[in-house]
Each structure stands twice: as C-alpha cells, then as structure tokens.
Structure 1
Amino acid sequence: KFPLAINVVRGKFDEVEGPDGHGVEKADVNIVDGDLPDTIRDESKQGEVSHFQALATAVSGTVGLGNIAGVALAIAIGGPGATFWMIVCGLISMSTKFVECTLGVKYRDVDENGTVYGGPMYYLSRGLKERGFTNLGKVLAVVFAVLCVGASFGGGNAVQSNQAAEQLASMMGLQGGSTGFIIGVILAIIVGIVIIGGIKRIASVTEKIVPFMAVIYAIACLAVIFANFSYIDDAFVLIFKGAFTPEAGLGGLFGVLIVGFRRAVFSNEAGAGSAAIAHSAVKTKYPASEGIVALLEPFIDTVVICTMTALVIIFYNSGGVFEYGGDGAGNVIVNGASLGGVTLTSLAFESVLPWFPYVLTLAVVLFAISTMISWSYYGLQSWKYLFGRSRTADLTYKLLFIAFVIIGASASMGAVFAFSDAMILALVFPNMLGLMFLFPSVRDELSKYLDAIKALKK
C-alpha cells in the first residue's frame, strides 16, 4: 500500500470524500451508549486538518531526537548490529500504525464546535464496548490516558528539551548550572506560543517545519555517506554481522535486538498509539484512508532517517573500534554513551563537514520544538479524557507541559531517557491489547475505502 499512501497524501483520491461517495456505503456514525445527544453527528464528514497536515503533525512527533540522539545511543550501547533491528522494527511498525490510526478515525468524537477528540482512549472504550468488553475498555482507556500524559512530559518533552539544551550549550561553549535552565525557559516560551493555538496552529507549524528539517538533515547524511562511500560495504557487514553474531553470544544477540527495538519504538512510537491522536483529526469519512497515510511514518522515521544516521556514526568510527576492511567484526563504542547522544552524532558529522554542528544545532532545536508541540496535543487529548474538556483543564495541562520543558533542559540525560523509555513502553501494553480485539473492524474499513477507490476509477 506504499504507493497508495503517497497518492492519498497528494490528494489523488479526494473525490471519494465527496457527498455522493461514488455509490459506496458511507462510514457509519459512531454512536455509543452514554454519548451526549448534542455530540452525536455524522463524524465521517468531520475533521480539522488535511491528510498532509495530520501526517506532518504525527511525523513531527516521531522524527525527532530519537533519530539523532537515540540512534547514537543504540550504536554506542549495542554496536552496529542494533541498526538492523531498528530497520526490522520500522518495517513491522508500518502495519501497526495502519491499524491504530484507522481505529483512531473510526472511533473519534466530535463536539458541537467541530473539535475532534480521538486516539486510543476512544477506540479502547468505544470499540471494546461494541465487542462486549465494556469494563475492560474503560480500564484500558484510563490506563492509556494516564500513561500518555506521562509520556508527553517525558519522551515528548523533557528528552527533547534536554538534548536541544545540550547541543546549544556545546556549540556555544556555555557552562554553568544555570545554562540548561535559561535555554529551557527560551524553549518553553516558543513552545507555549504555539500550543495555545490548538491542533490547527500545531498542524500549520509542523507542515512547514517537518519537510524543511527532514530534507536538510537527509542532505547532510547523504553528504557524509558519499564522502565515505568506499566503506559502505564494510558498514553493512558490520550491521548484519553485529545483528546476528555479536561477540557476547546468545545473550549479546538478544541484547542487541532489545536495544535496536527499544530505540526504534522510542523513535517511531508504533504500537504506543500516540500517532492515532494526531491522525484522528483528519478531514475524511473513510478511516482506512488515514491508516494508509500513517504507513509512511515508520518508513520515513526509522527505515530512512534512522538508517542514514546510523551509517554516519558507523563511518565516524569513534575510537577506531570498527575494523574496516578486515573481518567485519564490530564492537560497542564503549565511550559513546558518555559523549551523549547528540554530541556523538555531531562529532560524526563534523568529521566530514566541519561546519555541520551549527546546522545540526538548528536541526536539533527544530526537531525538539516540533516534537514537543505535537506531543503537547497528544498529552492534552489524554488529559481532557481524564479531567474533562473545560478551559481550566486545558490551561492546567499546558502550564504543566511548559514547566517540564524547563525541567528537562536542566536534568541529566540518563534520568530523562530512563523515564521516557518506561512511559513509551508502558503505552504499548493497553494499546496493543485493544488492537488485537479490534482488528476485524480495521479490515472492514479497509474494504470500504478500497471499494470507493475502485468505484472512482470506473
């Protein structure tokens, strides 16, 4: 479905969204016992953002410092072999994204003002109720919402401000206990200005930032890769050999696999359900159309960008631990973790492009800001699910989120990453349990959309 996803994003099949639907059955209205009468409407025609804006918002939440700092840490801890398992996880994640984002649109709620509320909280509670698991759905929805709020403060916020502050301080030669705090305050002001405007402003910002920063970063990666092209075969030998035959034996194999999967999941968030919140705001009456668009996320994030970052770091060969032109044996960069994720990546780029740390600093800051503003929306949706949709609840969450920008910039990297990993991993359990029960609904929605496209082509 990859070419189909590209065509949906560029609007080739927008005609199927018309009032007639080309004779294809329209999506059902999601009416669940307990809904307020004034919120029940034909949600299939509702939405706040376009396919591209929803994709940009979701990608900005995933294409971030996990691609820069996370990949560096994966290789520093697990060696080049971790790259292979990141790619495998990225490919598997494409189907997971499709399922959760289709469900996000199918079971979303729309209030009387046209504001969309969606995500795992809603498909867990509503979807499982349809299948006779009312209490289980309620419990899983609440658990997910609580964990998502925590993840928004951690991986979606503190990690981003922490690594952005580290790179800014390193580039400008700043030292002192107040450096992180000052940078955190500046970032908090920028993020605060954007998130006040809600999903429409977030989408309008991310659709401009994401393509720009992704292209700049990709060009820089390609420059380093082509400069070291004679080592490309050695690099892939290191990756494949390290993935299956690490020196530590079977324990090392599972260690590398776990490191690769953990960093990939932290980067693309597949299975965590977070992206379904952004995709649920799309303007469409066919839930599967947005699920197909969501397929692009893990591919862009993990298969493309993470792989290019990994090659850059392997070429850099910190401390000369990788044996190029030899037997392909690859070791762990023992001192890599002590350098810090972004710093290691920066040194790798600087080895070929002396001026690139300045560009990387800009990329890191843009990655961090875009990820934070996207995750603020994820967390806010979960917060409102728990505490209601009042202005007080809205303001309370946003103030807490802004405070964590400052806290993250001032904290140590190890503590921030440990908390973030725990939150992202915990999100997977209630979400994946729900996906297993609701998969038949996704199959039905896909058939509806494909039938609509076939009718359009006739």
Structure 2
Amino acid sequence: MKQLLSLITLLIPTITFASIDEVIEENFQPVSHAVTQVVFYSVPIGPKNVPIVLIVLLLGALFFTLYFKFANIRLLGVAIKATKGTYDELDHAYEEGESIEKIIDVAESDKKRKITPVVGEVTHFQALTAALSATVGLGNIAGVAVAIALGGPGAIIWMILAGFLGMSTKLVEATLGVKYREVGADGKIYGGPMYYLKKGLKEKNLAGLGKVLAVMYAIFVVGGSFGGGNMFQSNQATAQFMSLTGLESGFAFGLVLAALVGVVIIGGIKRIGKVTEKIVPFMGILFVGASLVIIFKNYDMIPNAAVQIWQGAFGNNALLGGVVGVMIVGFQRAAFSNEAGVGSASIAHAAVKTKFPASEGIVASIGPFVDTVVICTMTALVIVITNLKNNLFEYANLEGSNVIMNGTGQKLGGVDLTSAAFDSAIPHFSIVLTIAVILFAFSTMLSWSYYGIQGWSYLFGKSKLADTTYKVLFLFIIIVGASSSLNSVVEFSDSMIFAMVFPNVLGLMILAPKAKHEIKRYLTAIKHKVED
C-alpha cells in the first residue's frame, strides 16, 4: 500500500500537462499495431481473410462440443445445482482423486469415515462470479456495439453460436484447472493453463512440449491482463465518464481508477471474490433489466429487428462482404467477451473449494451462456431496435476502425454507441450506464489482475517482490489505457487475449480424455450420493 501511494504521489504533478494523453498514444500505437500483425495472421477463406487464431478457437470449441456429447446443454441443470452448492456435501464424503470404483464402494458401504479437509479459497459461486467479472462487462456493453457497428446486426447470431460452443471449452478448461492446481505453503492456490499444460502433458509423456506451452501461456496471460483485462476496461470506463462529465483528459480519471483497484488487489483472490460476488450479480441484473424494459417497450419493433439480424447473418449482401465477414466479426467479439478457449477463467476457477475438478468445470460452463447468449443478446437487441426507431447511425464497413459517426457527425465508439442507444429509449440512462461501465470495468480489472499475477508468479517465482512488481505495473497500465485511443487499445487487447488461444487449445485437445474421466467421476458421485 505504501508503494502504491508513493507511485500516485510521483504521478500527481504530471496531471497538469495537457499533452500527456497524446504522448502516451504516440508511443503505444506502433507497439499495438506490430503485435496485432503477428497474432492475427490470416489465410484466405472465400471472400475474406480469416485469422488463423479464430480457426483454431472455433474448431477446438466444435471438437469439445461433439467429444463431450453436447455437455454444454446436457449438464446445464447439474451446473445450476452445483453453483448453488447442492452437491457440496460430496466433498465431505470422498477423498481427493478417489476412483470411480471407490466412489461406488463408499456410497454402498463405508458411509462414516475420516476424510481430509477440502482444499480451496472460494466457493463455487464466488469462483463463478470472479470469472464472470472478467467477462461480463465491457465486452458485452462495448464489444457488442463494436461488432454490430462493423459487422451489422447479423454479427450477433455468430456471437450466440460462439457462446454455445464456448460452454464446452470452458468445461474442459476449468476441470483441468482444478485437477492440476498447486497449493502453496500459505494455502494460496496456483492454477490455470500454466499448470495443466506442464503437469498434464508430462503425464502424456510430452514434458518438453508442456514446459514450452506453459511458459508461452504465462507470458501471454500477463500481456492479456495488461491489455483486455486492463487497458480496454480503463479506456472505455474513462470514455464514458468523460462523455458524461466533459472531462478533457483521461489521465486524471485513470489515476483515480488505479488507486481504487490497488486497494482491492492487495487482498488477493479472497478479497476479489468477496467484491465480485456483490458487484457482478447486481450490475448484471440492472443491465439486463434495463435492456428488457427497452425491448418490451418497443415490442412492435422486435419482428423488424429479428429480420435485420437474420438477413445480416446469412444474406448475400452482408455488410462486410459476405457471410464470412460477418461471422469473423461476431466470433472475434464473442471470444473477446466470454474468453472461452483463452483459458484465463480456469485460473479463477482453480481456487474453488472442491475435491471434484469436474464440479467446477460444469459450473464454469455457465459462464459463456450468461455472458454471450444472454447479456450480449440483450445489448444487441437494444442497439438494433433503438437504431431502427431513432436512426442513430448507419451500419458501415469500417475495417481497421472501431469508431463510427452518428447523424450529427459525433464520434461513437464502443461504449458510446451503447450509451446513445440506451439514452434514446430511457432518458438520462447514460448516468446509470456510466456507473455500470465503471463498476464492470473495475470488477474485470480485479479478476484479470489475479490472472496476470498467476502468470507472473509462474515466470518469476512466488515471492513478495514479484507480487508487488506486477501490481505496480498493472496499476500503471490502467493509466496508459485511460489515456490511449480506442483503436490502439482494441488492437493490443485483442492481440494479447487471442495469443493465449494457441498454447491453450492445443493442450486442451491433448488432455480432453483427462477431463472426460473427471466428469464421469463427478456424475458417478452425484448418482451414488452418500446419505447422512
């Protein structure tokens, strides 16, 4: 805390320099563009160039959906019950890693025995909200707006499909995250792709590949925490605050936001979980509630909106040069929003209190459904309906730009577009949305700071110095994001998030049988639940 206050004290005098935003943007933009060119290397498919990373992501999600026999839909009821804690008693009936045969044997005979305590730092619900806080937020509010602005209304169809497929990927990620986690001497949990890539692939006699992929992922997750988990959040929260208040420099707001985030992340995952379990449900209900009010208020516009969405997704005259173009935009923004295949959420889920890795995997599968299928759809419907009614902007092909112009020549980018749509239907709702955006950005940064510090600890060791160094850097990056342009921030954020896909999806496909075994174990325990 002393180091944080010292950093803020050193930076306060620079607030008076009006050109600081321009200086930061001038130095950051070239770096952002260079990284983007590497990560989003594309190959021609039909009329469009498709990034290889998207192909990997989608083929992986489709494979998991088929391999696990549509567990994303089949186990949804189990997921809801597990989140509520219905099956928590199983953790007190069995030992860690007991075989399926032993589970059946215990259920039938040995009902009273001494067992080891349950390892973990947070509950199923807290782990889910911590993970959701990193995904439910500006990816839904600003990311959907960007997708529709660039790809037209049809992009939402592909976002929804990506959400359903992503549920299967999250199932595998979180299951493996818990299975291969490590527990520090102080009781802290260390988990996520770094650990299941290294330890899981070693079990498959691929120790060398596992070490390489684990280091790659650790580097990328640190970059992702600085990009999509930090800069994009602070940038859009600042944009909304500046729009409402007329503040000219994002630097000052970024400084305040950094101080608030710093106070929470010092407490680690336990404090993060306690904060996110309150913020995420409240803001999610508020945002979805407001969306439903607008949709029902304009129910007569729903058929026209549905036609626009369907035609935009499958029509020959799709706005980005064909179905493939709209598909790319929808899938890319969905992946950025729900992070399925990115592996980051498995870091939060690894901290759960359980002896059954699949229990958290099944809980985690709810994430993309809530994030993309429900909340993103709400946002999209509001934007399409209000645009039909009020003609706020023209759908346009603006590749390379995430900013569009409304009818009066005012720039609308990301969250500004969503704000304009809500404001046109509910007067002065932009004030409420500003609060929602800031809180969503805040909760997302909290979770991503935890993800990043896990990668940082994997690379530089689990020491207090490494911990403090990362946190200071993370807080500084908040200020950079608040002072940069949307284009540069989106480029860098997308690049870092999607770079994590390559090592993660490869590892997940190799380790899928391990996850399948854990799912069978957990479902067996539920079936043969020990009675008191």
TM-score, structure 1 normalization: 0.91
- Aligned position for 1:79: 152
Contact preservation (8 Å) 2:174, 2:360:
yes
- Aligned partner of 1:204 among 257, 263, 274: 274
Structure 1 portions without partners, runs of 5+: 29-41, 324-329
Q: C-alpha deviations, 1:55-107, integer Å up to 9, x for none?
A: 01000000010101100010000000100000000000000000010000000
Aligned equivalent of 2:404 = 336
Q: 1:21 deviation in Å?
A: 6.3
How many residues align? The count is 436
Counterpart of 2:213? 140
SS in structure 1 of the partner of residue 201 of structure 2: helix
CA contact (8 A) 1:27 1:44 kept: no
**Does 2:86 correspond to 1:16?**
no
Question: Match for residue 328 of structure 2?
Answer: 258
Q: Corresponding residue for 1:6?
A: 80
- Does residue 236 of structure 1 match 2:306? yes
Q: Structure 2 CA distance, aligned partners of 1:249 and 1:380?
A: 41
Within-5 A mapping of 1:22-421: 25=99, 45-175=118-248, 179-248=249-318, 251-317=321-387, 331-332=395-396, 336=404, 338-421=411-494
Distance apart, 1:114 and its partner CA:
1.3
1:424 Cα deviation after fit: 1.1
Mark the CA change 1:424 to 1:248 in structure 2 (over 3 Å): closer, same or farther.
same
Q: CA deviation at 1:166?
A: 0.4
The alpha-carbon distance between structure 1 residues 188 and 26, as it changes in their structure 2 partners (threshold 3 A), is farther
- Structure 1 contact 90–302 (Cα < 8 Å) conserved: yes
C-alpha separation between the residues in 1 aligned to 2:389 and 2:404? 9
Q: Distance in 1 between matches of 2:117 and 2:137?
A: 31
- Give the Cα separation in 2 of the matches to 1:319 and 1:144: 45
Contact kept, 8 Å, 1:319 with 1:333, in 2: the verdict is: no
2:516 is the alignment partner of 1:452? no
Displacement of 1:318 in angstroms is 7.2
The alpha-carbon distance between structure 1 residues 194 and 386, as it changes in their structure 2 partners (threshold 3 A), is same
The answer on whether the counterparts of 1:128 and 1:134 sit within 8 Å (CA) in structure 2 is yes
In the TM superposition, residue 248 of structure 1 has moved relative to its aligned partner by: 5.0
Q: Secondary structure at the match of 2:528?
A: helix
Aligned residue identity for 2:308: L
CA distance in 2, matches of 1:213, 1:431: 30
- For residue 431 of structure 1, the aligned residue among 504, 516, 526 is 504
For 1:246-266, what per-residue CA distance to the aligned partner results, in whole angstroms no more than 9, with x for missing partners? 515894211110000000000
Cα 1:418–1:318, aligned 2, differ >3 Å: closer, same or farther? farther
Q: Deviations over 1:243-287 (max 9, x none)?
A: 111515894211110000000000000000000000000000000
Shift of 1:317: 1.3
CA distance in 2, matches of 1:345, 1:436: 37
Assess if the C-alpha contact under 8 Å between 1:213 and 1:367 holds in 2. yes
Report if the CA contact (8 A) 1:107-1:126 is conserved: yes
1:361 Cα deviation after fit: 0.3
Q: What is the CA–CA distance in structure 2 between the aligned matches of 1:315 and 1:19, rounded to whole Å?
A: 52
In 2, Cα distance between the equivalents of 1:23 and 1:332? 54
Contact residue 311 and residue 318 of structure 2 kept, 8 A = no
Structure 1 residue 23: deviation in Å? 12
Cα–Cα, structure 1 residues 319 and 403, in superposed 2: closer, same or farther, change >3 Å?
farther
How large is the Cα RMSD of the aligned pairs? 2.3
Checking the alignment, whether the CA contact within 8 Å between 1:117 and 1:381 is kept in structure 2 is yes
Contact 1:144–1:430 under 8 Å retained in 2: yes
Query: Does the 8 Å CA contact 1:17/1:284 hold for their aligned counterparts?
Result: yes
CA-CA distance at 1:320 after TM superposition: 6.5
Tell me by how many angstroms 1:378 deviates: 0.1
Distance 1:87 1:457, change over 3 A: farther
In 2, Cα distance between the equivalents of 1:356 and 1:66? Answer: 19
Per-residue CA deviations over 1:182-203 (Å, capped at 9, x if unaligned) read: 0000100000000000000000
**1:62 partner SS:** coil
User: What is the letter of the counterpart of residue 13 of structure 1?
Assistant: Y
Q: Structure 2: where are the runs of 5+ without partners?
A: 1-74, 103-114, 406-410
- Retained in 2: the 8 A contact 1:322–1:331? no
CA distance in 1, matches of 2:449, 2:177: 18
Letter of the 2:121 counterpart: E
TM-score between the two structures when normalised by the length of structure 2: 0.79
Give the C-alpha shift of residue 16 in structure 1. Answer: 0.7
Q: After superposition, give the CA deviation of every residue in 1:213-237 in whole Å (9 maximum; x if it has no partner).
A: 0011011101111111101111111
Q: Against the structure 1 CA distance between its residues 55 and 436, is the aligned structure 2 distance closer, same or farther, given a 3 Å change threshold? A: same
Distance in 2, Cα, partners of 1:350 & 1:220: 11
Deviations 1:27-62 (A, max 9, x none): 99xxxxxxxxxxxxx999311000000001000000
Contact 1:108/1:118 (CA < 8 Å) preserved in 2? yes
- CA deviation string 1:119-161 (max 9, x = no partner): 0000000000000101100000000000000010000000000
For the 8 Å contact 1:24–1:451, the answer to whether it is kept is no
SS at match of 2:425: coil
CA distance in 2, matches of 1:141, 1:111: 19
1:196 and 1:22 mapped to 2: Cα distance? Answer: 31
Amino acid in the other structure paired with 2:396: V
Tell me which moved more, 130-139 or 19-28: 19-28
Letter in 2 for 1:399: V
CA distance in 1, matches of 2:101, 2:336: 33
CA distance in 2, matches of 1:111, 1:83: 43
Is the contact made by 1:144 and 1:427 (CA closer than 8 Å) also made in structure 2?
yes
